[in-house]
């Protein structure tokens, strides 16, 4: 939303806001002979209408950030209407990124937003799909828990949905529940019915419904149109849900007169209609919604009396993103899902966080690995660093190997993640060790040199869903390495999602030719990190560090990678006779 004052956003609206308010989240329960005070959770339900991809996840995350900044404990739940048990087996083109939690759940990418915007820790109980709900109900039926009853959508499916909502709350002050899909989709009806019932189960004062909708600008008419929003709300009301707040997505300001019109036709208080304006950075969203007064309205509807939000940190982040003092670097991301940026959502944000750490803007150049296979290598000379992200399948692998070779031979900063590490290992085996046709068993089962092999624990696995090495595992870092320097600690824990690993049978040969295994799992001896001791910045990791990066706490591997890109940029500019502010990059003892 467009700023209307030169004062910091955190200071605006002070006339309508009290600095501190009494937090009334207590309820009573019996214990022994007396009564004790017990916290009563509030439920904030977020739905979407008109079209998909309106940003419900970002809206939910931003509301979580605003409420958490008022001193409240917030958690999140995403309810997805598709019948898959989880998104783990879905194509990135279908679903976007699969986000992995510490406990090994393969979840919707919105859980990444929840963790980046708040301090809440997501687990498998924070994401449920239609498939998972039905699976649970059917398992109960098979065990005889519904003995004698006809199992139906109402009450059995809706009761199961309400049970997972309560479970996700886990004692938090507020649980923000985002219902995936669009109002009107047949798949989402059981979820909408369940959240309708919640108001009567927990009390009207403990439930708020927020509907994210679209107010499009019609160029031919030269005006914004409210009819799509009216129809979306009407459909929601037919289900039995009256939204308390409307978040109206728009590419321009919505006038007070138009908000009043929307309120009138949607039976919503005029003060509860808010503009959700398009912004340059997703980290602006909490600030703009605060400027609109959304968090004040939520506090009013919930009857929550809390402290005023403290948004200075968010203002600092947005300033660094929009007006960096250290210029710009270009990162080449070599992958096969480059047509859909959502496939690399957490990766993109982690790179932005790395730029925030150095007050530098990132320009991401997404490079289709198949273009490199066709000989279009010149694009790699135009970037300041090369990153090969995770992925599955043989398509594009030879192009990724070419990108690794280009980075290694031309001393361009390189970062390989999961499959990216495996590509670096294969390239090193072929071009440094001279192992002809070295490959991964995933791509060539007849390779004479399987430098990447199937994990022992995966050899008897036949099911695809939820069977990979998933979740957080330990990694012991080697002293004197760049990895140890960047992390500044000996033992780390990172999230994984893979079936294949480096073949330790080749470890001695690799080490003898200059590859450093800088991180190893202490329990199983699996290689977790690699680097080269004759390269300014060449790192690979088998895990996914992007899942633990936040704007206020950039992941050290991404921060170090961006600093290396800045050094390379400055060196290129000096060689070309340009002007560069030299960025100092710490060099590990082994480099």
Note if 544 is an active site residue.
yes
d(CA 101, CA 115): 10
Residue 64 tokens, joined: 């979580």
Indicate the pairing of strand 361-368 with strand 328-335. parallel
Claim to verify: residue 148 and residue 167 sit in the same structural domain: yes
Q: Could you report the per-residue pLDDT of 48-63, keeping only the tens digit for each?
A: 998 888 999 999 999 9
The pLDDT, as a whole number, for residue 307 is 84
Residues 255 and 119 in one domain: yes
Q: Is 553 helix (H, G, I), strand (E, B) or coil?
A: strand
- Quick one: pLDDT at residue 462? 64
Q: Report the pLDDT value the prediction gives residue 51, as an integer from 0 to 100.
A: 86
The answer to the question of residue 11 being in a domain is: no
Is 300 labeled as catalytic in the residue annotation?
A: no
Q: Is residue 23 part of a domain?
A: no
Question: Of 318, 347, 368, which one is at a domain's C-terminal end?
Answer: 318
Q: What is the pLDDT of residues 490-529, one digit of tens each?
A: 999 999 999 999 999 999 999 999 999 999 999 999 999 9
Per the structure, the complete domain to which residue 179 belongs is given by: 41-318
Q: Say whether both 304 and 339 belong to one domain.
A: no
Q: Which helix (H) or strand (E) holds 454?
A: strand 450-454
* Cα(1)–Cα(3) distance, integer angstroms: 6
Q: Does 7 have pLDDT greater than 60?
A: no
**What average pLDDT does this structure show over 308-334?**
94
Q: How far apart are CA 110 and CA 344, in angstroms?
A: 13
Reply yes or no on whether 418 is catalytic. yes
pTM for the whole structure: 0.89
- CATH number of the domain within which 232 lies: 3.40.50.300
Q: Do residues 243 and 352 both lie within one domain? A: no
Residue where a domain stops, chosen among 297, 318, 339 = 318
List 528, 546, 555, 568, catalytic entry: 546
- Tell whether 175 is covered by a domain: yes
In a shared domain, residues 80 and 222: yes
pLDDT at 141: 94
Residue 460 belongs to domain with CATH number: 3.40.50.880
DSSP assignment string, 465-512: TT-SEEEEEEEEEPTTSHHHHHHTSSEEEEEEEESEEE-GGGHHHHHH
Summarize pLDDT for 240-258 with one digit per residue, the tens. 999 999 999 999 999 999 9
Q: Is the pLDDT of residue 464 over 70?
A: no
In this structure, what DSSP letter does residue 309 have?
P
Residue 184 and residue 239 in one domain: yes
Mean pLDDT of 201-209: 96
For 209-226, the pLDDT digits (tens) are 999 999 999 999 889 999
Q: Which two tokens stand for residue 569?
A: 């940029």
What is the tally of structural domains in the chain? 2
Residues 296 and 364 in one domain: no
Query: CA–CA distance from 549 to each of 105, 348, 401 (Å)?
Result: 18, 11, 26
Q: What is the pLDDT of residue 461?
A: 72
| 15 inside domain | no
d(CA 377, CA 22): 62
Phi, psi of 270 (to 5 degrees): -55, -30
| Secondary structure of residue 515 in the 3-state scheme | strand
pLDDT band at 28 (very low <50, low <70, confident <90, very high): very low
- Domain boundary (294, 318, 342) is at 318
- Average pLDDT over every residue of 418-436: 97
- Which of 22-31, 103-112, 433-442, 455-464 has the least mean pLDDT? 22-31
**Residue 8 reports pLDDT greater than 60:** no
Closest by alpha carbon to 185, among 85, 94, 81? 81
Pairing of strands 527-532, 515-520: antiparallel
Q: Is residue 335 part of a domain?
A: yes
386 pairs with which residues across the strands?
332, 414
Kindly state the average pLDDT of the residues 138-161: 94
Of 498, 544, 555, 568, catalytic: 544
Which of 418, 496, 531, 541 is an active site residue? 418
Are 300 and 336 found together in one domain?
A: no
């Amino acid at each position: 939303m467009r700023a209307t004052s030169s004062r910091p956003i955190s200071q605006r609206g002070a006339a309508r806001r009290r600095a501190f308010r009494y937090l009334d989240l207590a309820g009573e329960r019996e214990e022994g002979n007396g009564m004790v005070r017990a916290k009563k959770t509030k439920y904030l339900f977020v739905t979407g209408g008109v079209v998909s991809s309106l940003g419900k996840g970002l809206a939910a995350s931003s509301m979580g950030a605003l409420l958490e900044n008022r001193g409240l404990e917030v958690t999140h739940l995403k309810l997805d209407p598709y019948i898959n048990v989880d998104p783990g087996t879905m194509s990135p083109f279908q679903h976007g990124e699969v986000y992995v939690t510490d406990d090994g759940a393969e979840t919707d990418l919105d859980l990444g937003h929840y963790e980046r915007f708040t301090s809440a820790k997501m687990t498998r109980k924070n994401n449920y799909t239609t498939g998972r709900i039905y699976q649970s109900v059917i398992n109960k039926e098979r065990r005889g828990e519904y003995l004698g009853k006809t199992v139906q959508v109402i009450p059995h499916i809706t009761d199961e949905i309400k049970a997972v909502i309560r479970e996700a709350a886990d004692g938090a002050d507020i649980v923000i529940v985002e219902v995936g899909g669009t109002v009107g989709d047949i798949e989402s009806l059981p979820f909408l019915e369940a959240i309708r019932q919640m108001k009567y189960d927990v009390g009207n004062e403990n439930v708020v419904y927020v509907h994210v909708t679209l107010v499009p600008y019609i160029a031919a008419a030269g005006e914004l149109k409210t009819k799509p929003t009216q129809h979306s709300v009407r459909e929601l009301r037919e289900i039995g849900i009256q939204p308390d707040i409307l978040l109206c997505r728009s590419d321009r300001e919505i006038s007070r007169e138009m908000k009043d019109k929307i309120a009138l036709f949607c039976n919503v208080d005029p003060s509860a209609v808010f503009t959700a304006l398009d912004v340059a950075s997703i980290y602006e969203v909490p600030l703009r919604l605060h400027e609109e007064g959304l968090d004040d309205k939520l506090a009013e509807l919930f009857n929550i009396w809390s402290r005023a939000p403290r948004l200075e940190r968010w203002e600092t982040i947005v300033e660094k993103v929009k007006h960096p003092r250290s210029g710009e670097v270009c990162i080449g991301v070599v992958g096969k899902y480059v047509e859909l940026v959502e496939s690399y959502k957490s990766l993109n944000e982690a790179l932005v966080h790395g730029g925030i750490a150095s007050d530098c803007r990132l320009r991401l150049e997404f490079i289709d690995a198949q273009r490199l296979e066709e000989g279009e290598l010149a694009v790699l000379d135009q970037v300041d660093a090369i990153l090969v992200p995770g992925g599955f399948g043989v398509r594009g692998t030879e192009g990724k190997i070419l990108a690794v070779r280009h980075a290694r031979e031309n001393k361009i900063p390189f970062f390989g993640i999961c499959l990216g590490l495996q590509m670096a290992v294969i390239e090193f085996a072929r071009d440094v060790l001279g192992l002809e046709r070295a490959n991964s068993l995933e791509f060539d089962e007849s390779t004479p040199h399987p430098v990447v092999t199937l994990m022992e624990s995966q050899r008897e696995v036949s099911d695809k869903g939820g069977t990979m090495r998933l979740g957080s595992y330990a990694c012991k870092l080697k002293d004197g390495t760049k990895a140890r320097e960047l992390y500044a600690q000996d033992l780390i824990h990172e999230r994984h999602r893979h079936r294949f690993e480096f073949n330790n049978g080749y470890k001695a040969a690799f080490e003898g030719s200059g590859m450093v295994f800088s991180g190893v799992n202490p329990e199983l001896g699996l290689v977790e990190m690699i680097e080269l001791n004759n390269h300014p910045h060449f790192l690979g990791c088998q895990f996914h560090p992007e899942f633990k990066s936040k704007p206020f706490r950039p992941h050290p591997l991404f921060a170090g990678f961006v600093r290396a890109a800045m050094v390379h940029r400055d060196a290129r500019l000096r060689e070309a006779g340009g002007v560069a502010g030299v960025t100092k990059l710490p060099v590990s003892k082994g480099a």
